[in-house]
Each structure stands twice: as structure tokens, then as C-alpha cells.
Structure 1
Amino acid sequence: MKRPLPHQTDRKFLVFAATGTDLIFNRGVDLPGFASFPLNEDPDARPIVVDQMRDLIKVAKQAGTGCIIDTLTWMANRDRAAPLGYDEERLAALNRTAVAMMRGLQDEYAEDDDVLLALCVGPSRDAYAQLEPMTVEAAREYHRAQIGAVSDTGIDLVNAYTFNQVEEAAGVVLAAGDFDVPVALSLVVETDGRLDNGQKLEEAIAEIDALTDAGAAYFMVNCAHPDHFSHVLTGNPRLQGIVVNASRCSHAELDDATELDDGDPEELGAEVARLVEAYPSLSVIGGCCGTDLRHLREMARRVGNRAS
């Protein structure tokens, strides 16, 4: 069944990108090096991973929104997996296992066309550090490995989170296009609403579109509090998702924090709802660092009433 994607319908969709912190602080799972993708190979952890996305679906259904369930594969690429002993073959198998796990969950809602399955991918390196950019073609080849490993599994889309370099972002869009898989490209911004190198959000979106012939299905912002980017939103129809942090802290502050800053779920839900009301083209909402089911319920409850 070919399911309509968020940019192809007037429904709202809920996502949850805070899988790591939720597993650690709320579900009692240890993540050495903050790498969650090895859990796909752990028979004891798999039910917990699936339940995490099942809980997301329940929240979405209760609020009347659609949802996008992500595979637990954000760091499952060559550079981040190699230090943990993963070669190319084992990494490809892990990505396929992750998709199969979430496919089983999606099949529980086989009659619904608003439960989408996304391969979650992330940047090759630290998303919050200024590094020498990859070339577009190098990034394209790099991300082809992960996307290509599951391109024949029937995933609905790729969710590419926390990209902060235009060149690598363009490369992952082109890589998904090579396999004819839709991709939602999510950029991470700092407390001033700009990318780490100072580039304006709108300029980055336009540049990525120019480099890829508008190849992304749509764009999102993630891993930032609404206070950090609400002032730069313009209603750009290419920007259709906001996946927000609970904390107002900067990325540097969050990296140094010893305790989870989960903010105020009701306040965050109200802020997200205000942005959706101001910019109706925002069709995807969700939680990133520090959020959990409390935050998701508040967002979905407030925005779900506006879903068609």
C-alpha cells in the first residue's frame, strides 16, 4: 500500500526523535557511547524499542493525527558504527533488522494509511561541531550505503535528522533519490535560529534545493527549542516539520549537562500549537531531546484538534 506522505495530505503527523534519552531516563536501557542502534541486535531490548514506537502510535491515534515511526538507526552509519566493531556487511544487516522490527509494528495497523515507516539516518559526524564539509558527491556516496541497504524493504520515507552542513544534506537527499525513496531533510539550528556555521535557515533550504533540484519531499527543523527558531519562520511551504527540544539550553550546554532537562510539557505543547496555528503548512510535529510521552501527548492533544 502506497501511503500518502505529510506533504501530500492535510493531516498532521506526530514523530518522536528523542529515542535515546527516553530509553535511558524512562525505560531503563543503558546506551554505551549514547549509541542506541546496537539494541536492534539485542533480543532483550527489541521489545522495548518496539514499545517505544507503539506508544507513539497510541498517542497519535488518541489525538486523531497520523504518525511516523522511525527505525532506531540514527547513528548506524560507517563512521559512528566502526568504533563499535561494525563492518559494512554487519551494518547493512542491522539496518534491515531495524526496518523489519518496525515493519512488524506497522503491520499491526495495516488497515490505516497514516502510520508511516521511516528509515532514520543522521550525519556522518557530530551534528553540533563545525567540521570541514563533505563534498556533495562524497556525501551522496556515503549515505547510499545505509539507504541502499533497505531501499527494497518498502519503507515509506527516509527521515534525515540533525544535518547542519548544506553539502552533506544535499548528498543524503541525492542518495535517497538514487533509490527512488522520498526523504524528509531535517536541519538542526542553534539558539539564534541559524545553522552552526551562521547560515540562515531559509538560505540553507534554498541552497539544498538548488543542489538537488528540489529533491527532498520536505524540510524540517529538529533538536532546538521553539524559542530558538520561531522568529525565523516565514511560512515557507518547503518547511513542513518541527521536532523540538524540551530544553531551552544550547547544544553545548546540553552536551555538558549531567541531568536531563525535560522542560515543561504543557508549555512546550502550547508553543508548538501556536506555531502550527500561525503556519498551517507545518504538517509534522514531534519531540526531540528531553521530550517523552508527556510532551508528545500535549503536542498531539493541542494540534490534533486542527488535523483534518
Structure 2
Amino acid sequence: MSKLEDLLARKGALLADGATGTNLFDMGLVSGDAPELWNVEEPEKIKALHQSFVDAGADIILTNTFGCNRHRLKLHNAQDRVSELNIAAVRLAREVADCVDRDVLIGGSIGPTGELFQPLGALSYEDAVAAFREQMEALVEGGVDILWVETMSAVEEMKAAAEAAKGLDVPLVITASFDTAGKTMMGLAPKGLGDLQSQFACRPVAIGSNCGVGASDLLAAIMDITEAHPDAIVVAKANCGIPQIRGDEVVYTGTPDLMAKYTHIALDAGARIIGGCCGTSPVHLTAMREALDTHHAGRRPTLDEVITDIGPLVSPPNREADAARAEGDGAGRRRGRRRS
């Protein structure tokens, strides 16, 4: 049993941390700069962010390595520093986690490559596996407890990440962003993520959703996953409310009270690892910790209740288009059978 599974067995549900990027912007990071470079340029600020989440009660903190693969780093002429920056990130998180008298796990954050796969783009499946493997090996060398693949959209990219994780003997988590009419940008539905588990070269210990367009939309995705796959360990890591553009800034509308309500609903919806993504500060996470610790299990929520308590869906599923597509697929299959 991995450390993650052991801690889940002992505690029942775990609190993951909050946002990395939006909190680093508040600490002076400039838009367009690579936050991963701060692992060596501003290490005390990275440690301070981790410490703030641990102080708020996080059971899992994620490394500052979301874009720390060769393809994203080449935008900053740092593609040759993958190992250095990932190992540095883990060591900063480990210095914080090892100084508390409870178990805090380190998740190595692994985001998308930022490239389109062939034939839409230039990235081959093999190149994606190599890039993920390079980053994962550095994270494992640094000492992560979990390989935390997040904000995924394309099935091919998730499969490449899972293949890269094979044989590294560290539990894998995969979360997707269902931000386009209830699906990922590349058309994967929440239920489909659960269906993919058996197709991954390295089966994830946990699956779920992060980021997206709003907490209500993420909860809807989580409910779809847990309904179709009730035995799965499911992660819910929503943005702090709904992002709004105000001038040249993106502001997240979630209050600590709203994120506490989101935590209660996520637990009743079947999630077992709950955290916050963009806009989630240590103050929000403190409220979420209290909600998790005081939660009394209730009945499974309905989507109407989610909307009432958390807010409207920002990008609701297009049921008519899905039904028409399904009907078209069915007609094609029927025609195919007649031809045979």
C-alpha cells in the first residue's frame, strides 16, 4: 500500500492544497514569467507558500512544477534544466513537510506539455512519453510521494503520462479539466475518464477533476465520475468560485464560506481528496479544513442543489448536441452492420 492509500485508509478523506500560480502572483511573480524558475531564484517564497498550506491543514501539497517539462520550459530557454528545477521543487516542499508532526504528502505536479499531438500538431506520442518520463524521474529522484498529473484535456496525453509513470513505483493521480460544455477541451466526458483507467499503462490510484471554469461545473463532473465509478478514489480540486475579468486581472469570486460548502458537497458527492485550484488561498483552505473535519455524511447532492448552494454552471453540458452526436454514431453503426 502506498503512503497515499495508507493515509486515506486512516483518515477517510484528505485535504489537498490550494493554488500555486495565483498565490505566487500575489507574492510578486510577473505574468509571462515561469514560476518554476522560482524554485532556484526565490526558494524562500516557494517554501512560504507550502508552509501556508500546511499551516492551513493540507494533507497533500503539490510541488511548483506544473510547467516543468522540456516543452514548456523551452519558452523560457530552460529546456535543459528539467532535472534541476524539478528536484529543487521537491526538496523545498520536503523541507516544509518534514518539519510538522503529522503526515503531509508531496505530490509532484505534472501539467500538460503545452503541445498539440499529431496530426493536429507536431508532438508525437513517443516524444510526449519521453518528456513526461524525464520530469517524473526527476520528481522521483527528489522524493515525491505521488505523481500528480493534472489539468489534462487530451486522452493521448493522459495515456502518455501514464505510460511514463510505469515502473517508477510511485502512485499516480490523474485529473482533467472539464471546462468545455461539461467535457475537456478535447471532448472527453467525466465518465470517460473513469472508463479510461483500464487503458492506462500505469493504473492511477485516484482520478478526478481540477481547475475548469467554476466550482459548480467541477462538482457536476465529480458527480458524473462517482456515479459511473463508485469505487474509484476521486479528486476534486476546484477553482475558487467563478473567474471574472476585471480590467487586466482575473478575480476569483469564491469566499471561504463558499469553499467550505463546496467541500461538504464534494464529500457527499463521493470525492475523497479535496482541494482548491486557481484563486484558492490559505484562508480558503483553512475554511475547507474545518469543513472536512466537521463534516457529517449526508445524502448524495443533486445538480440543482449544487447550483443553489455554489452558483450556476458556467459551461453547462450541451445535451442536445450530445444526443444528436450519439444518434448519428448509432445510425452509422447500424448502417455498418447492414453493409456487412
Q: TM-score per shorter chain, which class?
A: 0.7 to 0.9
Residue equivalent to 1:19: 20
Tell whether the 8 Å contact from 1:190 to 1:196 is kept in structure 2 after alignment: yes
Corresponding residue SS for 2:176: strand
2:174 and 2:181 map into 1 onto residues whose CA distance is 20
Tell whether the 8 Å contact from 1:220 to 1:242 is kept in structure 2 after alignment: yes
- Count of matched residue positions in the alignment of Structure 1 and Structure 2: 287
Residue equivalent to 1:248: 242
Structure whose CA Rg is larger? 2
Structure 1 residues 144 and 103: alpha-carbon distance in aligned structure 2, compared to 1, 3 A threshold? same
Tell whether the 8 Å contact from 2:236 to 2:266 is kept in structure 1 after alignment: no
Letter in 1 for 2:261: A
Is it true that 1:267 corresponds to 2:258 in the alignment? yes
Q: CA deviation at 1:15?
A: 2.0
Q: CA deviation at 1:135?
A: 5.5
Is it true that 1:216 corresponds to 2:204 in the alignment? yes
Residue equivalent to 1:206: 195
Residue equivalent to 2:87: 96
Residue equivalent to 1:63: none
Residue equivalent to 1:47: 44
Q: CA deviation at 1:257?
A: 6.6
Q: CA deviation at 1:136?
A: 4.7
Residue equivalent to 2:66: 74
1:247 and 1:57 map into 2 onto residues whose CA distance is 22
Q: CA deviation at 1:205?
A: 2.8
1:172 and 1:261 map into 2 onto residues whose CA distance is 31
2:88 and 2:202 map into 1 onto residues whose CA distance is 31
Residue equivalent to 2:113: 124
What is the aligned-residue RMSD (CA, Å)?
2.8
Corresponding residue SS for 1:178: coil
With CA pairs under 8 Å and 6+ residues apart, which has the higher RCO, 1 or 2? 1
2:260 and 2:140 map into 1 onto residues whose CA distance is 34
Q: CA deviation at 1:78?
A: 0.7
1:307 and 1:173 map into 2 onto residues whose CA distance is 35
Residue equivalent to 2:179: 190
2:114 and 2:235 map into 1 onto residues whose CA distance is 23
TM-score for the superposition, normalised by structure 1 = 0.83
Identity of aligned residues (%): 22
Residue equivalent to 1:294: 283
TM-score for the superposition, normalised by structure 2 = 0.76
Tell whether the 8 Å contact from 2:115 to 2:123 is kept in structure 1 after alignment: no
Letter in 1 for 2:210: N
1:69 and 1:151 map into 2 onto residues whose CA distance is 15
Corresponding residue SS for 1:48: helix
Alignment of 1:50-65 (within 5 A): 50-60=47-57
Is it true that 1:85 corresponds to 2:85 in the alignment? no
